[in-house]
Amino acid sequence: MSAVPLPASLPRWILAAILVASSLAAACSEDSSVTSGGASDGSSGSPGSVTSGEALYKQHCASCHGPTGEGGSGKKLKGWTKGWAELVSTIDLRMPPQDPKRCQGTCATDIAAYILANFQAEPLDCKGNELPPRRLRLLNRREYNATIRDLLRLGGSAAGTTCSTDADCAIATESCLAGVCQKDPCNVRTFIYPAQGKTYASVHVAGSFNGWAGTIAAGGWLMTYLPSKDVYVTKRTIASGTYAYKFVLDETNWVPDPANPKGEPDGFGGQNSLLEVSCESGGEGQESPGPVVDLAKNFPAESRPTGFSYDNNADAGLVTSVHVEQYLKASAHVAKLALSHAAQLVPCGSVHQGSCSKQFIEGFGRRAFRRPLTGAEVARYEKLAQGQPTHEKAVEAVVRAMVLSPLFLYRSELGVPQPDGSYRLTDHEIASALSYTFWGTLPDDELASAADQGKLSDPKEIEAQARRLLASPRARVTLGVFSQQWLGVSAVGELTRSTVLYPSWSASLGMAMAEETRRFVEHVIFDGSHKLDELLTADYSFVNAQLASIYGMSAPEVGFSKALLPPERRAGLLGQGSVLTSTAHSDQSSPIRRGLLVRERLLCQDLGVPPPNAGGVPEVNPNATTRERFRQHSSDPFCRSCHQYIDEVGFGMERFDAIGRYRLEENGQPIPPDGNMNDVEGLGTGTNGFYDTLPELAAIIAGSEAFHRCFTRQVYRFAYGALEKDVDLCPLQALYQQFAASGYDVRELLVAIVRSPGFSTRW
């Protein structure tokens, strides 16, 4: 293969990427047309020649999959567990990816024989010193916003009074969650129309957010009457923007909101009410952080490598020029916010001079850097403050300098050296690790005090603090973030749907779906059985009026309420609109996406990247069901090698359309509800799991060891911010055993992670 000249003007990272990709492509595909390998030498216990396979593997595969099958740009082959036939089929039909036809027949069998003879997995030899690496972890956007909010003490979520329904709370701004009144997320708005003793057949909201629906059937937002308050109410999740709206009485009389002074002419001699939604959320699932705007809105999005679902990938935390530009802009805003709260942050007087300067710098810096400042650091910031002309300028300068410091922007997990060569995290590093794991923000005063006193060197104190943090409502928010990212439903409100096929779809409906998932997972973990299985076997969920209309249920009194689901939807997460919608296309359902969600996110089974010549989505046939159109995957041997594990799982969700509505027919044809959850414990194990309904499919998954092991991996990934490697296999095995011993109590899994050696000790 001849070298291709590359323009010298390209950035070095692009040149490097092109060169690496070119060399790998050449190594994996060059002269791959060899299809003969000689007779079997019998050493692999399978047909094919190990000797010939070794030469072929080195020539065509080693540069991608590693000399010993350890993986690289290609998939890890060491410890292949899918069996002889599956391995041969994969090589024969899909390898090399650039031209799958170039290594078939004997070439495939010989390489497979060599792999099986030489790449067997070695049994785990756990010595107890398998530890993650030392690292610095850049705050992601969610963590940045939450940390600024708490650094400036601007408030956040807090438990309120006990309640049984939303009507027990401050209805305009709070909802009843898990028996406690809690502040609504910033994208949830409450519409209230005073009845003033009058009775209406219906009251609904119509506006630019729902197409000015004149009737409830057309998409109007039904309002519920609360006798105790003599008002009609509805809570809705609404995307950021400015909207015009009115209340519609008995679907005939359109009136503006009497409590909203903002309005504009409606073009008919009357007034529309105006609503501005500027979501100040700290991130996915995060509650409103008070007066802090989304400072990290324009920060670069966090990269998520294949197989990693979360926004805290530690290995991708590199500061770019775009980061620097946005950090500078954000720091100016933070400084102004600090100045507006100077009386709270600087109660001692003037930062410009005197002892107050040192007091402020030590106190604020202690929280910003999540550890006490050194004498040299204090002196440097004092000099900066004293060089400013006024107290106000001094506050701004110190705050801005601190939030631009790497000591603020990075979480330190470096530790101090130990006699055995490992590094023990300092008490303050452990405090930060605990707080960001459970709350996604800096340590509170109690945790910081424990670190100051050296208490976190005691594993019992670490566990006690973990349980305290876990008992706080703030842990619910973080676990809600985890659940949405784990399932890939965070952005369901941003999805588009065909307005012809799905006229009831809206961004607010999508956000309500994500909110349902968050509330449901929080309830199971903190208020329900606490057991993992309930996430897939629950017969209830939390719905509002929008979701109730999609699910075919009666609308709750107000806001989100716990409700028994229709029988076909009693499958926990698998029956929720967020999961069903996120795994569909804009104009049709997708058994492939839904099957992959089960395989990859619930069972951690890696099917790899589809080959370049894989077929796309079959064209819509008005005379056939989606299931019939996708049957080609079963009849085509090339497709079947992977789709045998995907389609039969996804078909079990085909009775739900692209926005999660239940249906019995598609294009006039009945939709079979059955399928096969085959090889649930591992691809290539040759097992079947036939089912007839979605709840039966969910029960098979919930009863599998693979699901419980995969969830352990997912929580481990979220806590450590990285995909697991070989060094993590022993810690994962220990965590799984503790998880199983607890009866699969999710809370105990979270506590087990902070008890594990790798949480406080690193290499």
Average pLDDT over residues 389-416: 96
In one-letter notation, the amino acid at residue 631 is R
Which of 155, 89, 41, 22 has its CA nearest to residue 441? 155
Which of 711, 727, 709 has its CA nearest to residue 719? 711
> Tokens 């064209």 correspond to what residue?
619
Tokens, residue 42: 């019998």
In order of 138, 183, 378, 433, the CA distances from 453 in angstroms are 26, 34, 21, 17
Which of 214, 83, 256 has its CA nearest to residue 682? 83
Contact 235, 173 (CB under 8 A): no
Instruction: Provide, rounded to the nearest whole percent, the portion of the chain with pLDDT above 70.
Output: 86
> Tokens 């603020």 correspond to what residue?
408
Phi, psi of 234 (to 5 degrees): -150, 145
Model pLDDT, residue 280? 44
pLDDT by residue (tens digit) across 638-658?
677 778 889 999 999 999 999
Most confident segment among 78-92, 141-155, 164-178:
141-155
Buried b (16+ CB within 10 A) or exposed e, 439-454: bbbbbbeebbebbeee
Model pLDDT, residue 92? 80
pLDDT at 538 over 90: yes
CA 427 to chain centre: 29
Residue 59 burial by Cβ neighbours in a 10 Å radius (0-12, 13-18, 19+): middle
Model pLDDT, residue 39? 45
pLDDT at 285 over 50: no
3-state secondary structure (DSSP) of residue 423:
strand
pLDDT by residue (tens digit) across 462-499?
999 999 999 988 899 899 999 999 999 999 988 999 98
pLDDT at 192 over 60: yes
CA 176 – CA 611 distance, rounded (Å)? 49
Q: At 178, is the pLDDT very low, low, confident or very high (cuts 50, 70, 90)?
A: low
Q: What is the dihedral of CA 404, 405, 406, 408, to 10 degrees?
A: -80
- Angle formed by the axes of helices 705-720 and 729-741, nearest 10°: 120
Model pLDDT, residue 580? 98
CA 36 – CA 238 distance, rounded (Å)? 63
Most confident segment among 39-43, 617-621, 669-673:
669-673
CA 617 to chain centre: 26
Residues with Cβ < 8 Å from 266, sequence gap 6 or more?
244, 246, 272
Phi-psi region of 552 (alpha: psi -120 to 50; beta: other; left: phi over 0): left
Contact 50, 43 (CB under 8 A): yes
Q: At 614, is the pLDDT very low, low, confident or very high (cuts 50, 70, 90)?
A: low
Tokens, residue 38: 């000689």
pLDDT at 753 over 80: yes
Phi, psi of 385 (to 5 degrees): -65, -45
Tokens, residue 454: 């050296």
pLDDT by residue (tens digit) across 569-595?
999 999 999 999 999 999 999 999 999
pLDDT by residue (tens digit) across 341-379?
888 899 888 887 778 999 999 999 999 999 999 999 999
Model pLDDT, residue 284? 37
**Domain 12-118: homologous superfamily in CATH:** Cytochrome c-like domain (1.10.760.10)
CA 642 – CA 639 distance, rounded (Å)? 6
pLDDT by residue (tens digit) across 115-156?
888 887 667 788 878 999 999 999 999 999 999 999 998 854
- What average pLDDT does the structure give for the chain? 85
Ranges 43-47, 151-155, 436-440, 455-459: which has the least confidence: 43-47
In one-letter notation, the amino acid at residue 304 is R
Phi-psi region of 686 (alpha: psi -120 to 50; beta: other; left: phi over 0): left
pLDDT at 22 over 50: no
Q: At 224, is the pLDDT very low, low, confident or very high (cuts 50, 70, 90)?
A: confident
Q: Is 166-277 in CATH node 2.60.40.10?
A: yes
DSSP 89-131: HHHHHHSSTT-GGGS-THHHHHHHHHHHHH-PPPPP---S---
CA 525 – CA 210 distance, rounded (Å)? 34
Average pLDDT over residues 389-403: 95
Average pLDDT over residues 298-304: 93
